[in-house]
A and B are shown apart, each in its own frame.
Chain A
Amino acid sequence: MNDKLLKQIRKNIDYIDKKIIHLLNERMENALKASKVKETIEDKSREKQILAKISRKEGNLVDQEFILELYKSLFNESRTLQEKGLKLIGFQGAHGAYSEMAAKNWNKKLVSIPCDTFAEVFEGVKTGLYDYGILPVENTLGGVVGTVNELLMNDDELKIVGAIEQPIEHCLLYPEAEKFRDIRKVYSHSQAISQCKNFLERNNLEPVKYYDTAGAAKLVAEEKPEATGAIASSLAAELYDLEIVKQNIENVSKNRTRFFILSKTAQSKEGDKCTIIFSTAHKAGTLFNVLSIFADAKINLTRIESMPSGTGNYSFFLDFIGSIKDEKIQKILQEVQDNTENYRIMGCYKERSNQ
Protein backbone atom coordinates (compact mmCIF):
# COMPACT_ATOMS: atom_id res chain seq x y z
CA MET A 1 0.00 0.00 0.00
CA ASN A 2 2.73 2.47 1.02
CA ASP A 3 4.70 1.56 -2.08
CA LYS A 4 1.76 2.45 -4.23
CA LEU A 5 1.26 5.75 -2.42
CA LEU A 6 4.93 6.65 -2.73
CA LYS A 7 4.83 5.85 -6.41
CA GLN A 8 1.90 8.20 -6.90
CA ILE A 9 3.57 11.00 -4.93
CA ARG A 10 6.77 10.59 -6.92
CA LYS A 11 4.75 10.74 -10.12
CA ASN A 12 3.34 14.08 -8.95
CA ILE A 13 6.84 15.34 -8.17
CA ASP A 14 8.07 14.34 -11.62
CA TYR A 15 5.15 16.18 -13.14
CA ILE A 16 5.86 19.32 -11.08
CA ASP A 17 9.55 19.20 -12.02
CA LYS A 18 8.64 19.05 -15.66
CA LYS A 19 6.35 22.01 -15.20
CA ILE A 20 9.05 24.00 -13.39
CA ILE A 21 11.46 23.39 -16.27
CA HIS A 22 8.80 24.41 -18.80
CA LEU A 23 8.07 27.57 -16.83
CA LEU A 24 11.76 28.40 -16.40
CA ASN A 25 12.15 28.06 -20.13
CA GLU A 26 9.20 30.35 -20.68
CA ARG A 27 10.65 32.88 -18.24
CA MET A 28 13.97 32.88 -20.13
CA GLU A 29 12.14 33.35 -23.41
CA ASN A 30 10.41 36.39 -22.00
CA ALA A 31 13.70 37.73 -20.66
CA LEU A 32 15.13 37.45 -24.15
CA LYS A 33 12.12 39.23 -25.58
CA ALA A 34 12.54 41.99 -22.98
CA SER A 35 16.19 42.40 -23.94
CA LYS A 36 15.07 43.28 -27.47
CA VAL A 37 13.07 46.27 -26.25
CA LYS A 38 14.90 47.58 -23.19
CA GLU A 39 17.92 49.89 -23.19
CA THR A 40 20.33 48.06 -20.90
CA ILE A 41 20.41 44.46 -19.81
CA GLU A 42 20.89 45.00 -16.12
CA ASP A 43 17.96 46.72 -14.44
CA LYS A 44 18.38 46.79 -10.65
CA SER A 45 15.08 48.50 -9.94
CA ARG A 46 13.19 45.83 -11.85
CA GLU A 47 15.00 43.10 -9.91
CA LYS A 48 14.04 44.79 -6.65
CA GLN A 49 10.46 45.02 -7.80
CA ILE A 50 10.36 41.29 -8.55
CA LEU A 51 11.90 40.36 -5.21
CA ALA A 52 9.40 42.55 -3.38
CA LYS A 53 6.51 40.87 -5.18
CA ILE A 54 7.57 37.31 -4.50
CA SER A 55 8.53 37.88 -0.86
CA ARG A 56 5.07 39.21 0.00
CA LYS A 57 3.53 35.75 -0.43
CA GLU A 58 2.30 34.49 2.91
CA GLY A 59 1.71 31.00 4.24
CA ASN A 60 4.50 29.75 2.07
CA LEU A 61 6.43 26.64 2.97
CA VAL A 62 9.46 27.86 1.13
CA ASP A 63 11.98 29.85 3.15
CA GLN A 64 12.46 33.52 2.14
CA GLU A 65 16.23 33.22 2.12
CA PHE A 66 15.99 30.27 -0.19
CA ILE A 67 13.77 32.16 -2.61
CA LEU A 68 16.15 35.09 -2.54
CA GLU A 69 19.10 32.86 -3.38
CA LEU A 70 17.11 31.10 -6.07
CA TYR A 71 16.13 34.36 -7.71
CA LYS A 72 19.61 35.79 -7.52
CA SER A 73 20.90 32.88 -9.56
CA LEU A 74 17.89 33.18 -11.84
CA PHE A 75 18.68 36.87 -12.49
CA ASN A 76 22.29 35.94 -13.16
CA GLU A 77 21.38 33.25 -15.63
CA SER A 78 18.89 35.56 -17.29
CA ARG A 79 21.52 38.28 -17.71
CA THR A 80 24.07 35.86 -19.15
CA LEU A 81 21.51 34.67 -21.64
CA GLN A 82 20.57 38.20 -22.61
CA GLU A 83 24.19 39.17 -23.11
CA LYS A 84 24.70 36.43 -25.66
CA GLY A 85 22.87 38.51 -28.26
CA LEU A 86 20.83 35.54 -29.40
CA LYS A 87 18.61 35.97 -32.43
CA LEU A 88 14.91 35.23 -31.99
CA ILE A 89 12.43 33.78 -34.44
CA GLY A 90 8.70 33.98 -33.78
CA PHE A 91 6.45 31.10 -34.84
CA GLN A 92 2.73 30.49 -34.53
CA GLY A 93 1.72 27.74 -32.15
CA ALA A 94 3.08 26.11 -29.03
CA HIS A 95 6.47 24.42 -28.69
CA GLY A 96 6.58 21.33 -30.87
CA ALA A 97 4.61 22.96 -33.70
CA TYR A 98 5.59 22.16 -37.28
CA SER A 99 6.51 25.84 -37.70
CA GLU A 100 9.07 25.44 -34.93
CA MET A 101 10.48 22.32 -36.57
CA ALA A 102 10.82 24.25 -39.83
CA ALA A 103 12.48 27.17 -37.99
CA LYS A 104 15.02 24.80 -36.41
CA ASN A 105 15.72 23.22 -39.77
CA TRP A 106 16.20 26.62 -41.36
CA ASN A 107 18.66 27.80 -38.73
CA LYS A 108 19.15 25.82 -35.56
CA LYS A 109 20.99 28.66 -33.83
CA LEU A 110 17.84 30.78 -33.61
CA VAL A 111 15.77 30.79 -30.44
CA SER A 112 12.20 29.98 -31.39
CA ILE A 113 9.49 31.86 -29.52
CA PRO A 114 5.84 30.71 -29.57
CA CYS A 115 3.07 33.15 -30.61
CA ASP A 116 -0.68 32.67 -30.53
CA THR A 117 -1.49 34.01 -33.99
CA PHE A 118 0.12 34.64 -37.35
CA ALA A 119 -0.53 38.36 -36.83
CA GLU A 120 1.42 38.24 -33.56
CA VAL A 121 4.42 36.79 -35.39
CA PHE A 122 4.10 39.50 -38.02
CA GLU A 123 3.81 42.35 -35.54
CA GLY A 124 6.63 40.91 -33.44
CA VAL A 125 9.04 41.10 -36.36
CA LYS A 126 7.87 44.63 -37.20
CA THR A 127 8.36 45.94 -33.66
CA GLY A 128 11.77 44.29 -33.41
CA LEU A 129 10.77 41.83 -30.71
CA TYR A 130 11.83 39.02 -33.04
CA ASP A 131 14.67 39.15 -35.54
CA TYR A 132 12.77 36.75 -37.77
CA GLY A 133 9.31 35.32 -38.16
CA ILE A 134 8.35 32.04 -39.79
CA LEU A 135 4.96 31.56 -41.42
CA PRO A 136 3.39 28.74 -43.45
CA VAL A 137 2.31 29.76 -46.96
CA GLU A 138 1.09 26.61 -48.62
CA ASN A 139 0.62 22.91 -48.01
CA THR A 140 0.50 20.05 -50.49
CA LEU A 141 -2.81 18.81 -49.06
CA GLY A 142 -4.49 21.72 -47.31
CA GLY A 143 -3.68 24.31 -49.98
CA VAL A 144 -2.98 27.99 -49.37
CA VAL A 145 -2.79 29.45 -45.89
CA GLY A 146 -5.10 32.39 -46.59
CA THR A 147 -4.55 34.47 -43.47
CA VAL A 148 -0.78 34.49 -44.02
CA ASN A 149 -1.13 35.62 -47.63
CA GLU A 150 -3.48 38.36 -46.49
CA LEU A 151 -0.92 39.60 -43.97
CA LEU A 152 1.80 39.57 -46.61
CA MET A 153 -0.41 41.40 -49.07
CA ASN A 154 -1.33 44.21 -46.70
CA ASP A 155 2.22 44.85 -45.57
CA ASP A 156 4.96 46.79 -47.28
CA GLU A 157 7.68 46.60 -44.70
CA LEU A 158 8.81 43.00 -44.15
CA LYS A 159 11.03 41.07 -46.53
CA ILE A 160 11.12 37.38 -47.30
CA VAL A 161 14.64 36.22 -46.45
CA GLY A 162 14.18 32.50 -46.78
CA ALA A 163 11.83 29.68 -47.66
CA ILE A 164 11.84 26.10 -46.49
CA GLU A 165 9.74 23.05 -47.18
CA GLN A 166 9.03 20.93 -44.15
CA PRO A 167 7.69 17.35 -44.34
CA ILE A 168 4.59 17.03 -42.18
CA GLU A 169 3.95 13.74 -40.42
CA HIS A 170 0.83 13.86 -38.33
CA CYS A 171 0.42 11.51 -35.39
CA LEU A 172 -2.59 10.71 -33.26
CA LEU A 173 -1.52 11.32 -29.65
CA TYR A 174 -3.13 10.18 -26.42
CA PRO A 175 -1.93 10.01 -22.81
CA GLU A 176 -2.00 6.19 -22.88
CA ALA A 177 -1.73 4.64 -26.33
CA GLU A 178 -3.03 1.24 -25.22
CA LYS A 179 -6.33 2.86 -24.28
CA PHE A 180 -6.91 3.93 -27.91
CA ARG A 181 -10.41 2.39 -27.87
CA ASP A 182 -11.60 5.19 -25.57
CA ILE A 183 -10.72 8.03 -27.94
CA ARG A 184 -13.80 9.84 -29.27
CA LYS A 185 -12.68 13.43 -29.90
CA VAL A 186 -9.52 14.76 -31.47
CA TYR A 187 -8.20 18.30 -31.06
CA SER A 188 -5.99 19.88 -33.69
CA HIS A 189 -5.41 22.78 -36.05
CA SER A 190 -7.97 23.02 -38.85
CA GLN A 191 -5.28 22.35 -41.48
CA ALA A 192 -4.17 19.17 -39.75
CA ILE A 193 -7.79 18.08 -39.37
CA SER A 194 -8.44 18.50 -43.08
CA GLN A 195 -5.21 16.67 -43.89
CA CYS A 196 -6.27 13.70 -41.74
CA LYS A 197 -9.95 13.72 -42.70
CA ASN A 198 -9.96 10.15 -44.04
CA PHE A 199 -8.33 8.71 -40.94
CA LEU A 200 -10.78 10.50 -38.65
CA GLU A 201 -13.74 9.29 -40.68
CA ARG A 202 -12.50 5.70 -40.87
CA ASN A 203 -12.15 5.54 -37.11
CA ASN A 204 -15.25 7.54 -36.31
CA LEU A 205 -13.43 10.30 -34.42
CA GLU A 206 -14.92 13.73 -33.93
CA PRO A 207 -12.51 16.55 -34.85
CA VAL A 208 -12.39 19.68 -32.72
CA LYS A 209 -10.60 22.74 -34.11
CA TYR A 210 -7.86 24.31 -32.01
CA TYR A 211 -5.40 27.14 -32.65
CA ASP A 212 -2.39 24.89 -33.10
CA THR A 213 -1.36 21.23 -33.36
CA ALA A 214 1.24 21.35 -30.59
CA GLY A 215 -1.11 23.52 -28.52
CA ALA A 216 -3.71 20.75 -28.83
CA ALA A 217 -1.13 18.22 -27.65
CA LYS A 218 -0.32 20.46 -24.68
CA LEU A 219 -3.99 20.77 -23.79
CA VAL A 220 -4.56 17.01 -23.96
CA ALA A 221 -1.46 16.36 -21.86
CA GLU A 222 -2.15 18.94 -19.18
CA GLU A 223 -5.93 18.93 -18.83
CA LYS A 224 -6.60 15.38 -19.95
CA PRO A 225 -10.14 16.03 -21.23
CA GLU A 226 -12.12 12.81 -21.29
CA ALA A 227 -11.72 10.56 -24.34
CA THR A 228 -9.80 13.27 -26.18
CA GLY A 229 -6.66 12.93 -28.26
CA ALA A 230 -4.67 15.35 -30.41
CA ILE A 231 -3.17 15.38 -33.87
CA ALA A 232 0.35 16.78 -33.75
CA SER A 233 3.98 15.99 -34.53
CA SER A 234 6.05 13.25 -32.92
CA LEU A 235 8.13 16.08 -31.43
CA ALA A 236 5.01 17.32 -29.62
CA ALA A 237 4.47 13.79 -28.26
CA GLU A 238 7.97 13.89 -26.83
CA LEU A 239 7.64 17.41 -25.39
CA TYR A 240 4.30 16.85 -23.69
CA ASP A 241 4.73 13.22 -22.63
CA LEU A 242 2.00 11.83 -24.83
CA GLU A 243 2.01 8.46 -26.54
CA ILE A 244 1.69 7.91 -30.28
CA VAL A 245 -1.37 5.84 -31.17
CA LYS A 246 -0.72 6.02 -34.93
CA GLN A 247 1.93 7.71 -37.00
CA ASN A 248 1.49 9.17 -40.50
CA ILE A 249 -2.27 9.50 -40.45
CA GLU A 250 -2.52 12.07 -43.26
CA ASN A 251 -4.62 11.35 -46.35
CA VAL A 252 -1.66 11.41 -48.74
CA SER A 253 1.80 10.42 -47.64
CA LYS A 254 3.48 13.29 -49.51
CA ASN A 255 2.51 16.02 -47.08
CA ARG A 256 4.75 19.07 -47.02
CA THR A 257 4.32 22.66 -45.93
CA ARG A 258 6.28 25.57 -47.37
CA PHE A 259 7.27 28.30 -44.95
CA PHE A 260 8.51 31.84 -45.51
CA ILE A 261 11.01 33.40 -43.15
CA LEU A 262 10.46 37.14 -42.76
CA SER A 263 12.68 39.90 -41.50
CA LYS A 264 12.84 43.68 -41.49
CA THR A 265 16.02 43.71 -43.56
CA ALA A 266 16.32 42.04 -46.94
CA GLN A 267 18.64 39.10 -47.44
CA SER A 268 22.14 40.34 -48.29
CA LYS A 269 23.41 37.00 -49.62
CA GLU A 270 22.51 36.09 -53.16
CA GLY A 271 19.24 34.16 -53.50
CA ASP A 272 17.95 31.75 -56.09
CA LYS A 273 14.28 32.55 -55.85
CA CYS A 274 12.17 35.71 -55.81
CA THR A 275 8.67 36.60 -54.72
CA ILE A 276 6.87 39.63 -56.09
CA ILE A 277 3.37 40.96 -55.54
CA PHE A 278 1.31 43.16 -57.85
CA SER A 279 -2.21 43.91 -58.97
CA THR A 280 -3.40 44.46 -62.51
CA ALA A 281 -5.85 46.87 -64.09
CA HIS A 282 -9.37 45.53 -64.63
CA LYS A 283 -8.83 44.89 -68.32
CA ALA A 284 -8.80 41.76 -70.45
CA GLY A 285 -5.43 40.09 -70.80
CA THR A 286 -3.45 42.14 -68.28
CA LEU A 287 -2.36 39.16 -66.17
CA PHE A 288 -1.61 37.25 -69.35
CA ASN A 289 0.66 40.06 -70.50
CA VAL A 290 2.64 39.92 -67.26
CA LEU A 291 2.99 36.15 -67.43
CA SER A 292 4.14 36.30 -71.02
CA ILE A 293 7.03 38.58 -70.01
CA PHE A 294 8.34 35.67 -67.92
CA ALA A 295 7.50 33.08 -70.55
CA ASP A 296 9.35 35.00 -73.28
CA ALA A 297 12.42 35.28 -71.06
CA LYS A 298 12.16 31.53 -70.27
CA ILE A 299 11.97 32.13 -66.54
CA ASN A 300 10.45 29.35 -64.50
CA LEU A 301 7.46 30.45 -62.39
CA THR A 302 7.08 28.23 -59.35
CA ARG A 303 3.96 29.70 -57.77
CA ILE A 304 1.17 32.00 -58.77
CA GLU A 305 -1.46 32.88 -56.23
CA SER A 306 -4.32 35.32 -56.44
CA MET A 307 -5.87 37.12 -53.49
CA PRO A 308 -8.95 39.35 -53.61
CA SER A 309 -7.97 42.91 -52.63
CA GLY A 310 -10.98 45.17 -52.36
CA THR A 311 -14.05 44.94 -54.55
CA GLY A 312 -13.41 43.12 -57.78
CA ASN A 313 -9.65 43.65 -57.63
CA TYR A 314 -7.04 40.96 -57.28
CA SER A 315 -3.48 40.91 -56.10
CA PHE A 316 -1.09 38.27 -57.40
CA PHE A 317 1.85 36.59 -55.73
CA LEU A 318 4.46 35.33 -58.11
CA ASP A 319 7.46 33.17 -57.23
CA PHE A 320 10.11 32.56 -59.85
CA ILE A 321 13.56 31.08 -60.07
CA GLY A 322 16.34 33.65 -60.36
CA SER A 323 18.27 36.31 -58.47
CA ILE A 324 17.54 40.03 -58.41
CA LYS A 325 21.29 40.60 -58.73
CA ASP A 326 20.99 39.18 -62.24
CA GLU A 327 20.72 42.01 -64.82
CA LYS A 328 18.37 40.03 -67.02
CA ILE A 329 15.99 39.58 -64.09
CA GLN A 330 16.23 43.28 -63.23
CA LYS A 331 15.23 44.21 -66.78
CA ILE A 332 12.24 41.88 -66.68
CA LEU A 333 11.10 43.13 -63.31
CA GLN A 334 11.22 46.70 -64.63
CA GLU A 335 8.94 45.59 -67.45
CA VAL A 336 6.59 43.91 -64.98
CA GLN A 337 6.49 47.05 -62.85
CA ASP A 338 5.57 49.15 -65.90
CA ASN A 339 2.64 46.86 -66.67
CA THR A 340 1.18 46.45 -63.17
CA GLU A 341 0.00 48.39 -60.14
CA ASN A 342 1.11 48.16 -56.52
CA TYR A 343 4.19 46.26 -57.61
CA ARG A 344 6.63 45.23 -54.88
CA ILE A 345 9.56 42.85 -54.55
CA MET A 346 8.92 40.85 -51.38
CA GLY A 347 12.29 39.22 -51.31
CA CYS A 348 15.04 37.30 -53.03
CA TYR A 349 16.17 34.31 -51.00
CA LYS A 350 17.43 30.75 -51.01
CA GLU A 351 14.74 28.10 -51.22
CA ARG A 352 15.48 25.04 -49.14
CA SER A 353 13.91 21.66 -49.14
CA ASN A 354 14.17 19.52 -46.09
CA GLN A 355 13.99 15.79 -46.78
Chain B
Amino acid sequence: MDLKLASRKNKKKTIVDVDGIKIGEELVVIGGPCAVESEEQTMKAARAVKAGGGKILRGGAFKPRTSPYSFQGLGLKGLRILEKAKQETGLPIISEVMDSRDVTWVAEYVDILQIGARNMQNFSLLKEIGKTKKPTMLKRGMYSTLKEWLNCAEYILSEGNPNVILCERGIRTFESYTRNTLDLSMIPSVKEVTHLPIIIDPSHGTGKLSLIEPMAKAAVAAGADGLMVEVHPDPKNAKSDQQQQMTPDQFKKFMKNVNALDNFING
Protein backbone atom coordinates (compact mmCIF):
# COMPACT_ATOMS: atom_id res chain seq x y z
CA MET B 1 0.00 0.00 0.00
CA ASP B 2 1.35 3.38 -0.96
CA LEU B 3 0.66 5.24 2.22
CA LYS B 4 3.09 8.03 2.96
CA LEU B 5 1.42 9.40 6.07
CA ALA B 6 -1.09 6.80 7.26
CA SER B 7 1.40 3.94 7.29
CA ARG B 8 2.38 2.42 10.60
CA LYS B 9 6.01 2.40 9.56
CA ASN B 10 6.31 6.17 9.79
CA LYS B 11 4.71 6.97 13.07
CA LYS B 12 3.76 5.88 16.55
CA LYS B 13 0.09 5.32 17.28
CA THR B 14 -2.02 8.43 16.78
CA ILE B 15 -3.89 9.67 19.82
CA VAL B 16 -6.65 12.14 18.95
CA ASP B 17 -7.32 14.51 21.83
CA VAL B 18 -10.90 15.79 21.97
CA ASP B 19 -11.42 18.09 24.98
CA GLY B 20 -9.09 15.86 26.99
CA ILE B 21 -10.68 12.59 25.83
CA LYS B 22 -7.88 10.58 24.26
CA ILE B 23 -9.11 8.48 21.36
CA GLY B 24 -6.55 5.76 20.77
CA GLU B 25 -5.58 5.47 24.42
CA GLU B 26 -8.75 4.49 26.28
CA LEU B 27 -12.00 2.87 25.14
CA VAL B 28 -14.22 5.78 24.09
CA VAL B 29 -17.95 5.25 23.66
CA ILE B 30 -19.82 7.69 21.43
CA GLY B 31 -23.59 7.68 21.83
CA GLY B 32 -26.58 9.68 20.71
CA PRO B 33 -29.48 9.76 18.31
CA CYS B 34 -29.20 9.00 14.62
CA ALA B 35 -30.60 12.43 13.84
CA VAL B 36 -31.23 15.58 15.86
CA GLU B 37 -35.03 15.76 15.68
CA SER B 38 -35.84 18.31 18.37
CA GLU B 39 -34.25 20.02 21.33
CA GLU B 40 -36.16 17.86 23.80
CA GLN B 41 -35.23 14.59 22.09
CA THR B 42 -31.56 15.53 21.83
CA MET B 43 -31.30 16.78 25.41
CA LYS B 44 -32.87 13.58 26.71
CA ALA B 45 -30.51 11.47 24.61
CA ALA B 46 -27.50 13.55 25.72
CA ARG B 47 -28.41 13.11 29.39
CA ALA B 48 -28.79 9.36 28.85
CA VAL B 49 -25.39 9.15 27.16
CA LYS B 50 -23.78 11.12 29.98
CA ALA B 51 -25.52 9.06 32.69
CA GLY B 52 -24.51 5.80 31.04
CA GLY B 53 -20.85 6.81 30.89
CA GLY B 54 -20.61 7.73 27.21
CA LYS B 55 -17.82 10.20 26.47
CA ILE B 56 -18.96 11.89 23.25
CA LEU B 57 -22.39 12.84 21.90
CA ARG B 58 -23.35 12.01 18.33
CA GLY B 59 -26.29 13.45 16.42
CA GLY B 60 -26.88 14.09 12.74
CA ALA B 61 -27.88 17.61 11.66
CA PHE B 62 -27.21 17.10 7.95
CA LYS B 63 -28.48 13.64 7.07
CA PRO B 64 -27.48 11.63 3.99
CA ARG B 65 -30.63 9.71 3.19
CA THR B 66 -31.18 7.06 0.56
CA SER B 67 -34.43 8.72 -0.47
CA PRO B 68 -34.75 12.47 -1.13
CA TYR B 69 -38.17 12.30 0.52
CA SER B 70 -36.86 11.05 3.86
CA PHE B 71 -36.14 13.43 6.74
CA GLN B 72 -33.05 15.42 5.71
CA GLY B 73 -32.06 16.73 9.11
CA LEU B 74 -32.50 20.06 10.88
CA GLY B 75 -29.37 21.64 9.42
CA LEU B 76 -28.00 24.62 11.29
CA LYS B 77 -30.81 24.43 13.82
CA GLY B 78 -29.67 20.90 14.62
CA LEU B 79 -26.12 22.11 15.20
CA ARG B 80 -27.40 24.74 17.59
CA ILE B 81 -29.30 22.10 19.56
CA LEU B 82 -26.13 19.98 19.77
CA GLU B 83 -24.21 23.02 21.03
CA LYS B 84 -26.79 23.45 23.75
CA ALA B 85 -26.55 19.78 24.70
CA LYS B 86 -22.79 20.19 25.01
CA GLN B 87 -23.22 23.23 27.23
CA GLU B 88 -25.43 21.25 29.58
CA THR B 89 -23.69 17.87 29.66
CA GLY B 90 -20.11 18.82 28.81
CA LEU B 91 -20.02 16.03 26.21
CA PRO B 92 -18.05 16.92 23.07
CA ILE B 93 -20.01 16.68 19.83
CA ILE B 94 -19.55 14.62 16.68
CA SER B 95 -21.72 15.32 13.65
CA GLU B 96 -21.61 14.58 9.96
CA VAL B 97 -20.63 17.09 7.29
CA MET B 98 -21.78 16.25 3.77
CA ASP B 99 -21.04 19.32 1.72
CA SER B 100 -17.58 20.79 1.27
CA ARG B 101 -19.14 24.29 1.50
CA ASP B 102 -20.28 23.48 5.04
CA VAL B 103 -16.99 22.22 6.46
CA THR B 104 -15.83 25.38 8.24
CA TRP B 105 -19.35 26.12 9.48
CA VAL B 106 -19.96 22.66 10.94
CA ALA B 107 -16.46 22.82 12.42
CA GLU B 108 -17.53 25.94 14.35
CA TYR B 109 -20.13 23.87 16.18
CA VAL B 110 -18.72 20.36 16.58
CA ASP B 111 -15.62 18.81 18.13
CA ILE B 112 -15.31 15.95 15.65
CA LEU B 113 -16.34 16.08 12.00
CA GLN B 114 -17.81 12.86 10.65
CA ILE B 115 -17.50 11.78 7.06
CA GLY B 116 -20.27 9.33 6.33
CA ALA B 117 -19.84 6.03 4.50
CA ARG B 118 -21.53 7.45 1.39
CA ASN B 119 -19.06 10.33 1.26
CA MET B 120 -15.90 8.37 1.97
CA GLN B 121 -14.55 9.02 -1.52
CA ASN B 122 -15.86 12.56 -1.87
CA PHE B 123 -12.37 13.87 -2.50
CA SER B 124 -13.20 17.59 -2.50
CA LEU B 125 -14.86 17.12 0.89
CA LEU B 126 -11.82 15.21 2.17
CA LYS B 127 -9.47 17.96 1.02
CA GLU B 128 -11.58 20.69 2.58
CA ILE B 129 -11.61 18.82 5.90
CA GLY B 130 -7.87 18.25 5.58
CA LYS B 131 -7.35 22.01 5.60
CA THR B 132 -8.90 22.29 9.06
CA LYS B 133 -7.21 20.78 12.09
CA LYS B 134 -10.49 19.37 13.38
CA PRO B 135 -10.53 15.77 14.58
CA THR B 136 -12.29 13.83 11.85
CA MET B 137 -13.92 10.41 11.86
CA LEU B 138 -13.79 8.75 8.46
CA LYS B 139 -16.37 6.02 8.02
CA ARG B 140 -15.61 3.13 5.72
CA GLY B 141 -17.63 3.17 2.53
CA MET B 142 -19.98 0.24 2.21
CA TYR B 143 -18.25 -1.05 -0.92
CA SER B 144 -14.70 -0.08 -0.05
CA THR B 145 -11.58 -2.10 0.53
CA LEU B 146 -9.17 -1.32 3.33
CA LYS B 147 -6.78 0.14 0.77
CA GLU B 148 -9.36 2.51 -0.66
CA TRP B 149 -10.41 3.53 2.82
CA LEU B 150 -6.88 4.30 3.96
CA ASN B 151 -6.18 6.25 0.78
CA CYS B 152 -9.07 8.48 1.75
CA ALA B 153 -7.49 8.98 5.18
CA GLU B 154 -4.29 9.83 3.32
CA TYR B 155 -6.15 12.64 1.53
CA ILE B 156 -7.03 14.27 4.86
CA LEU B 157 -3.58 13.73 6.35
CA SER B 158 -1.79 15.07 3.29
CA GLU B 159 -3.71 18.37 3.51
CA GLY B 160 -2.29 18.87 6.99
CA ASN B 161 -4.89 17.45 9.35
CA PRO B 162 -3.30 14.69 11.48
CA ASN B 163 -6.40 14.03 13.62
CA VAL B 164 -8.00 11.21 11.70
CA ILE B 165 -10.07 8.47 13.32
CA LEU B 166 -11.30 5.49 11.27
CA CYS B 167 -14.74 3.97 11.73
CA GLU B 168 -15.90 0.56 10.54
CA ARG B 169 -19.69 0.54 10.09
CA GLY B 170 -20.33 -2.62 8.08
CA ILE B 171 -20.11 -3.41 4.37
CA ARG B 172 -22.53 -4.78 1.74
CA THR B 173 -22.46 -8.54 1.32
CA PHE B 174 -25.05 -11.02 0.05
CA GLU B 175 -26.27 -11.47 3.63
CA SER B 176 -29.65 -9.86 4.12
CA TYR B 177 -30.50 -10.86 7.69
CA THR B 178 -28.37 -7.99 8.94
CA ARG B 179 -28.41 -4.46 7.51
CA ASN B 180 -24.67 -4.67 6.75
CA THR B 181 -21.95 -7.15 7.55
CA LEU B 182 -19.82 -5.71 10.34
CA ASP B 183 -16.24 -6.46 9.34
CA LEU B 184 -14.43 -6.81 12.64
CA SER B 185 -11.35 -8.21 10.95
CA MET B 186 -10.65 -4.57 10.10
CA ILE B 187 -9.63 -3.83 13.72
CA PRO B 188 -6.42 -5.90 13.69
CA SER B 189 -5.91 -5.18 9.98
CA VAL B 190 -6.01 -1.42 10.49
CA LYS B 191 -3.60 -1.78 13.39
CA GLU B 192 -1.19 -3.81 11.27
CA VAL B 193 -1.12 -1.24 8.50
CA THR B 194 -1.64 2.20 10.07
CA HIS B 195 -1.15 4.19 13.25
CA LEU B 196 -4.69 5.61 13.18
CA PRO B 197 -7.28 4.73 15.85
CA ILE B 198 -10.36 2.73 14.84
CA ILE B 199 -13.89 2.94 16.18
CA ILE B 200 -16.62 0.36 15.55
CA ASP B 201 -20.24 1.25 14.83
CA PRO B 202 -22.28 -1.87 15.61
CA SER B 203 -25.58 0.03 15.25
CA HIS B 204 -25.21 0.56 11.49
CA GLY B 205 -23.01 -2.52 11.24
CA THR B 206 -25.88 -4.83 12.17
CA GLY B 207 -29.05 -2.73 12.04
CA LYS B 208 -30.50 -4.96 14.75
CA LEU B 209 -30.83 -4.01 18.37
CA SER B 210 -30.25 -7.57 19.59
CA LEU B 211 -26.91 -7.82 17.80
CA ILE B 212 -25.39 -4.53 18.95
CA GLU B 213 -24.07 -5.63 22.33
CA PRO B 214 -22.57 -8.97 21.23
CA MET B 215 -20.79 -7.27 18.31
CA ALA B 216 -19.63 -4.39 20.53
CA LYS B 217 -18.10 -6.91 22.93
CA ALA B 218 -16.42 -8.70 20.04
CA ALA B 219 -15.02 -5.34 18.88
CA VAL B 220 -13.63 -4.59 22.35
CA ALA B 221 -12.08 -8.07 22.45
CA ALA B 222 -10.48 -7.45 19.04
CA GLY B 223 -8.89 -4.21 20.28
CA ALA B 224 -11.19 -1.45 19.03
CA ASP B 225 -10.33 2.06 20.28
CA GLY B 226 -13.95 2.96 20.67
CA LEU B 227 -17.59 2.26 19.91
CA MET B 228 -20.30 4.37 18.37
CA VAL B 229 -23.90 3.46 19.10
CA GLU B 230 -27.26 5.10 18.59
CA VAL B 231 -29.28 6.16 21.63
CA HIS B 232 -32.77 7.67 21.39
CA PRO B 233 -35.23 8.51 24.21
CA ASP B 234 -38.05 6.94 22.18
CA PRO B 235 -36.67 4.74 19.35
CA LYS B 236 -40.12 3.58 18.17
CA ASN B 237 -41.04 7.12 17.18
CA ALA B 238 -37.62 8.13 15.83
CA LYS B 239 -37.52 9.77 12.41
CA SER B 240 -34.80 7.37 11.23
CA ASP B 241 -33.11 4.11 12.24
CA GLN B 242 -36.01 2.96 14.45
CA GLN B 243 -34.68 -0.62 14.49
CA GLN B 244 -31.22 0.05 15.84
CA GLN B 245 -31.44 2.86 18.42
CA MET B 246 -31.14 1.94 22.09
CA THR B 247 -33.34 3.37 24.83
CA PRO B 248 -31.57 5.12 27.75
CA ASP B 249 -32.08 2.00 29.90
CA GLN B 250 -30.73 -0.31 27.25
CA PHE B 251 -27.71 1.95 26.83
CA LYS B 252 -27.02 1.89 30.56
CA LYS B 253 -27.01 -1.89 30.61
CA PHE B 254 -24.96 -2.00 27.44
CA MET B 255 -22.32 0.28 28.97
CA LYS B 256 -22.14 -1.79 32.14
CA ASN B 257 -21.46 -4.99 30.21
CA VAL B 258 -19.05 -3.45 27.73
CA ASN B 259 -17.09 -1.72 30.50
CA ALA B 260 -16.87 -5.00 32.44
CA LEU B 261 -15.32 -6.69 29.42
CA ASP B 262 -13.00 -3.75 28.77
CA ASN B 263 -11.81 -3.84 32.39
CA PHE B 264 -11.24 -7.57 32.14
CA ILE B 265 -9.16 -7.26 28.98
CA ASN B 266 -7.39 -3.94 29.37
CA GLY B 267 -7.38 -3.60 33.17
- Listed in ascending order, the chain A residues whose CB lies under 8 Å from chain B are 177-178, 180-181, 199, 202-204, 244-247, 249
Contacts and interface: CB of A to CB of B under 8 A. Distances in A.
B9 interface: no
Nearest to A243: B76
B101 interface: yes
Contacts of A178: 75-77
A247 B75 CA distance: 16
A202 B104 contact: yes
Contacts of A247: 83
A177 B76 contact: yes
Contacts, number: 27
Contacts of A181: 99, 101-102, 105
Given A181-B101, A181-B102, A199 B75 contact: no
A199 B83 CA distance: 17
A313 to B, nearest CB: 47
Nearest to A181: B101
A203 B80 CA distance: 17
Contacts of B175: none
B77 A180 contact: no
B105 A203 contact: yes
A259 B104 CA distance: 34
B109 interface: yes
A181 B76 CA distance: 10
A338 B104 CA distance: 59
Which 9 residue pairs spanning A and B have beta carbons closest together?
A203-B104, A181-B101, A177-B76, A178-B75, A178-B76, A202-B104, A246-B108, A180-B105, A180-B76
Interface centre among B76, B80, B99, B107 (most CB of A within 10 A): B76
A245 B77 CA distance: 9
7 contacts: A177-B77, A178-B75, A180-B76, A181-B101, A202-B108, A203-B104, A246-B105
Contacts of A204: 104
A177 B108 CA distance: 14
Contacts of A245: 76, 105
